[in-house]
Amino acid sequence: MESLLPTVTSILNYAATNGLNMGRYLLLGLVLTAALQSLVPSHKLHQMMTRSGAWPIVIASVAAVTTPLCSCGTISLMIPLLAAGVPWGPIFAWLIASPIISPTGFILVGGILGWDLAIAKILVGLTLGIGGGILANKLQMSGFLANQSRVPRTRPTEDSMECCFQDTASASNSTPQDPTTSGHSETAATSENRFNTFIRILWESGRSLIPIFILFVLVAGVIETLMPTEWITGLFGPGRAWGVPVAAIMGVPLYTGTASAVPLTASFMGLGMSRAAALAFILTGPGTSLPALGAVLVIARNRMVAAYLGILFGGSILFAYLFGLWF
């Protein structure tokens, strides 16, 4: 029993020290995420993504990496678009780019793993999103993605779209008001509504993420304390060509969320994991984890899912290798 005491003490010391250091980035990310979700109306995103031309793909990719939506939120946004007959291009771009990065993820990765990895994640997310969207449009025109949507197509009408994407603020102010006071009342109601939404999202996100974060900080302490350094350097160390694809595949079972993956990645890097392998892990994990794949399967069939996985794995591994060569 006494022999275990130094090990347990080391694990708890690691968890306490790194938990406090990492926790400030998590809290900052949660505040930023809640602020964005309470300020950015989803129906505006819908309007931008239904424009003609290549711009919807670019808009979808940029919005995906800057808008904090979980898998369920992403699918809630995609279903009306598919039902309205929007091409696969912008939808595919969003599905690829959205899980790769979020405001919370950017701050956590940058503050804990390094800002070079955080910026690389954004650039890769945008590149794969835009490139994947363009490829999806070409595959759709060739007929490869025919009948790949699980969402029944309906006639897009302005009323139905507004129903799906109406803001809570606009809904709460739908009753007629005195013209002399309506402007002030609507502004006050909107501000109060957004503040309440901000507090609700902050509370719900913190309640779900902080316990997971604490748990995986402890897990990272166990790995840091007990796992031999030579195991990690032998598998994922610099110069190990197989480290990048193995790390990418490892993201499928191990990645359960940013709050859990970042402490794990930090502990692996502390034991000798190369930055290229770390990038591959945090690139593929978000989009290939079971919750993310389940969300894609809700709206897409086999060929679409295969294209999605192919671009995520192939693109992430390629860019991770390039990242390793660059640095």
Cβ pair 112, 22 in contact under 8 A: yes
Cβ pair 99, 129 in contact under 8 A: no
Percent of the chain past pLDDT 70, that is, above it, reads 66
Give pLDDT tens digits for 143-202: 888 888 887 665 444 433 333 333 333 333 444 455 454 555 555 556 678 788 888 878
Which DSSP state fits 234?
Answer: H
Phi, psi angles (nearest 5°) of residue 223: -60, -45
Please compute the mean of the pLDDT values over residues 307-323 and round it to a whole number. Answer: 91
5-13's contacts with Cβ under 8 Å and 24+ in sequence apart are 7/225, 7/226, 10/221, 10/225, 11/218, 11/221, 11/222, 11/225, 12/221, 13/221
- What are the residue ranges spanned by the domains of the chain? 4-173+186-326
Amino acid at 44: K
Give pLDDT tens digits for 17-37: 767 776 776 677 677 667 766
Q: Which pLDDT value is given to residue 158?
A: 40
- 10 Å CB burial of residue 322 (0-12, 13-18, 19+) is middle
- Beta-sheet strands, E only, within the chain: none
Residue with the two structure tokens 């759709």? 140
**More confident of the two residues 170 and 103:** 103
**Distance of alpha carbon 63 from alpha carbon 94, whole angstroms:** 8
Cβ pair 245, 31 in contact under 8 A: no
Cβ pair 165, 42 in contact under 8 A: yes
Please compute the mean of the pLDDT values over residues 244-270 and round it to a whole number. Answer: 80
Cβ pair 261, 209 in contact under 8 A: no
Global pTM reads 0.66
Phi, psi angles (nearest 5°) of residue 315: -65, -40
Question: Does residue 113 have a pLDDT over 80?
Answer: yes
**Distance of alpha carbon 46 from alpha carbon 49, whole angstroms:** 5
